[in-house]
Structure 1
Amino acid sequence: MSSMAWASIAFPLATGGVRSAIEAVPLVAWQLLLTTGILVSVIVLYRTARPHGQWGQRLRSRLVLGLPWGTLLGLAFVVCVYLFVQGGLGNLRDPVSLPFQATSYAYPLGVLTAGFAHVSWGHLVGNLWAGLVFGSIAEYAWSHYPAERGSASFASWSSNPFVRVAIFFTTMLLAGLLTAAFSWGPIIGFSGVTYALAGFALVFYPVSTIVAVAGWTRLRHVYTAFASPYSIAEASVSYDSVWWASTAVQGHVFGFLLGVFVAALVVRFRGTTTNPARIWLAAMIYGIANGLWRVYWFLGDGQYVQFKAVGTTLVFVLAGLIVALVAGSDRSAFASLPQVDRLVDPTPRWQIAASVLLAVLVTMSIVGATLNLVAPAGGGLPDDAVEVNDYEIAYAENVTNRQIAVLDLPFLEQVTQVQTSGVIVTSEKRHLWRRAISKRALEARGSGRVLVGGVGWRTSVWATRSGWSVVGGNSTYRVFLDPDGDEKRLVHTSTPAVADLRLANRTIAIRPAADAFEVAVRRGNQTLGTVAVPGNGGNATVGGVRFDRTGRDLYASIDGTRIRVANRQVPPTRQ
Structure 2
Amino acid sequence: MLSAVLTVFVLAVLLGSVAVVARLESTDRRFRDVARARLHYGVPWGTLVVLGGVVCVYLFVQDGVTDLYDPVTIPYRAWSYFYPLGIVTSSFSHASFGHLLGNLIAAAVVAPIAEYAWGHYPDGDVPSWRANPWIRAVVIFPLAVVAIGILTSLFALGPVIGFSGLVYAFAGFAIVRYPIPTLVATIGLQGAVVTIYNSIRDPILVYVAQPSPPSSPSWADVAIQGHALGFFIGLVLALALLERRGGRPTAFRVWIAVLLYAFSKGLWQIYWFGEGNTYLLFRGPGVVIVATLAIVITLAVSDTDQHVVPERLERALPDVLSSSEHPHGHGSTDGRRLATPLDRLRGLESKGEHGSTVDRLARVCDIATGARGDGAGRQTGPRSRQVGVVAVLLVLAVLAGMAIPFNVLVLEDDADADRATVEVEDYTVEYVEEADHELVSGIGIEAVEDDAGLTASGVVVSSTERHAWIEAVTSQRLAFSGSETITVGGPGWRETVHVEREGWEPVGNDTVYQVWLWQDGDQPRHVYESEGSQADVLIDDRTVSIVPDDGAFRLSVESLETGDLSTTQVPDENESVDAGGLTFDRQNETVYAVSNGTEVAVASAETYE
- For the criterion TM > 0.5, the same-fold answer is yes
Q: Does 1:128 align with 2:108?
A: no
What is the CA-CA distance between 1:470 and the residue it aligns to? 1.7
The one-letter code sitting in structure 1 at the alignment partner of 2:536 is D
2:177 pairs with 1:219: no
Give distance in 1, aligned partners of 2:167 and 2:58.
17
Who is 2:136 aligned against? 164
SS state at 1:356 partner: helix
Q: CA deviation at 1:407?
A: 10
Q: Is the 8 A contact 1:200 1:263 kept in 2?
A: yes
Letter aligned with residue 287 of structure 1 = A
TM-score, scaled relative to structure 2: 0.84
Deviations 1:377-422 (A, max 9, x none): 444245311100000000011111011249999x999746311211
SS state at 1:386 partner? strand
The correspondence for 2:504, drawn from 468, 488, 496, is 468
Equivalent in 142, 159, 175 of residue 202 of structure 1: 175
Indicate how the Cα distance of structure 1 residues 51 and 470 shifts in structure 2: closer, same or farther if over 3 A, else same.
farther
Report the equivalent of 2:10. Answer: 34
User: 1:145-160 alignment to 2 at 5 Å?
Assistant: 145-146=121-122, 148=123, 151=124, 156-160=128-132
Matches of 2:14 and 2:458 in 1, distance apart? Answer: 47
- Amino acid of the structure 2 residue aligned with 1:176: G
Show the 5 A alignment for 1:227-266: 227-242=201-216, 243-266=218-241
**Matching residue of 2:390:** 355
Q: Within 5 A, what are the aligned runs for 1:104-115?
A: 104-115=80-91
1:329–1:277 Cα change, 3 Å = closer
Shifted more, 378-387 versus 47-56: the winner is 47-56
CA distance in 2 between counterparts of 1:527 and 1:188 reads: 57
Are 1:177 and 2:150 matched, yes or no? yes
Q: Which amino acid aligns with 2:265?
A: N
Alpha-carbon distance in 2 for matches of 1:54, 1:71: 22
| 3-state SS in 2 of match to 1:332 | coil
Q: Tell me which of 21, 40, 45 is aligned to 1:45.
A: 21
Deviation readout 1:316-348 (Å, 9 max, x if unpaired): 011011101102644432244426798x98222
- Compare 113-122 and 546-555 and name the one that shifted more: 546-555
Q: How far has the Cα of 1:98 moved from its partner?
A: 0.4
> Which secondary structure state, in structure 1, belongs to the residue aligned with residue 91 of structure 2?
coil
Change (3 A) 1:412 1:105: farther
1:283, 1:527 → 2: CA distance?
A: 74
Corresponding residue SS for 1:526: coil
- 1:259 Cα shift? 1.2
C-alpha contact 2:503 2:512 (8 A) present in aligned 1 = yes
CA contact (8 A) 2:109 2:189 kept: no
- 1:333-412 map, 5 Å: 333-336=308-311, 337-338=313-314, 346-381=381-416, 383-405=419-441
Please point out which of 229, 240, 244 is paired with 1:269: 244
The offset of 1:234, in angstroms, is 1.6
**How far 1:508 moved relative to its partner?**
1.3
Say if 1:171 and 1:240 are closer, same or farther in 2 by CA, change over 3 A.
farther
RMSD: 2.6
Q: Distance in 2 between matches of 1:355 and 1:408?
A: 29
Residue in structure 2 matching 1:141, options 117, 122, 128? 117
Task: Identify unmatched segments of 5+ residues in structure 2.
Answer: 319-345, 347-378
For 1:309, the equivalent position in structure 2 comes to 284
What corresponds to 1:502 in structure 2? 538
Partner of 1:554: 591
Distance 1:527 1:443 in 2: 33
1:557 aligned counterpart, secondary structure: strand
One-letter amino acid of the counterpart of residue 249, structure 2: T
Q: Which runs of 4+ in 1 moved over 4 A?
A: 50-53, 154-158, 339-342, 405-409, 411-416
CA contact (8 A) 1:302 1:438 kept: no
Q: Map 1:321-340 onto structure 2 (within 5 A).
A: 321-327=296-302, 329-336=304-311, 337-338=313-314
Which residue of the partner structure matches residue 103 of structure 1?
Answer: 79
Report the AA paired with residue 96 of structure 1. V
Residue identity in the other structure for 2:575: G
Percent of residue pairs identical: 36
Whole-Å separation in 1 of the counterparts to 2:564 and 2:76: 53
Q: Distance in 1 between matches of 2:70 and 2:29?
A: 43
Report the Cα distance in structure 1 between the residues aligned to 2:127 and 2:33, rounded to whole angstroms: 22
- 2: CA distance, partners of 1:407 / 1:490: 36
Contact kept? 2:274, 2:450, Cα under 8 Å: no
Aligned with 1:434 (options 461, 470, 476):
470
Matches within 5 A, 1:34-73: 34-49=10-25, 54-73=30-49
Structure 1 residues 533, 38: CA separation in 2 closer, same or farther (over 3 Å shift)?
same
Tell me whether 1:89 sits opposite 2:65 in the alignment.
yes
The equivalent residue for 2:600 is 563
Structure-1 separation of matches of 2:538 and 2:226: 56
Partners in 2 of 1:230 and 1:65 — Cα distance? 38
SS in 1 for 2:57: helix
| Residue range with higher mean Cα deviation, 509-518 or 158-167 | 158-167
Partner amino acid, structure 1, of 2:177 = F
Equivalent position of 2:372 in the other structure:
none
Change (3 A) 1:249 1:160: same
The answer as to 2:552 corresponding to 1:520 is no
Q: Assess if the C-alpha contact under 8 Å between 1:446 and 1:466 holds in 2.
A: yes
**Matched residues in 2 for 1:263 and 1:42: separation?**
32
1:534 and 2:571 correspond: yes
Work out whether residues 442 and 453 of structure 2, in 8 Å CA contact, stay in contact via their aligned partners in 1: no
> Could you tell me how far apart the structure 2 residues matched to 1:112 and 1:522 are?
61
Aligned partner letter, 2:238: A
CA distance in 1, matches of 2:488, 2:443: 26
Q: What is the identity, as a one-letter code, of the residue corresponding to 1:268?
A: E
Who is 1:3 aligned against? none
Cα distance in structure 2, aligned partners of 1:174 and 1:313: 32
The TM-score, its normalising length taken from structure 1, stands at 0.89
| Contact residue 269 and residue 282 of structure 2 kept, 8 A | yes
Q: CA deviation at 1:122?
A: 0.8
| Equivalenced residues, count | 543
Tell me how far 1:172 sits from its aligned partner. Answer: 1.3
Q: Would you say the 8 A contact 1:404–1:416 is kept in 2?
A: no
- C-alpha distance after superposition, 1:78-134 (max 9, x if no partner): 111111111112222211000000011111000000010001111111101111101
Any idea what the Cα deviations from partners look like across 1:299-320, whole Å, max 9, x if unmatched?
1433211111111111101101
Conserved? CA contact 1:100–1:113, under 8 Å: yes
Distance 1:535 1:77, change over 3 A: same
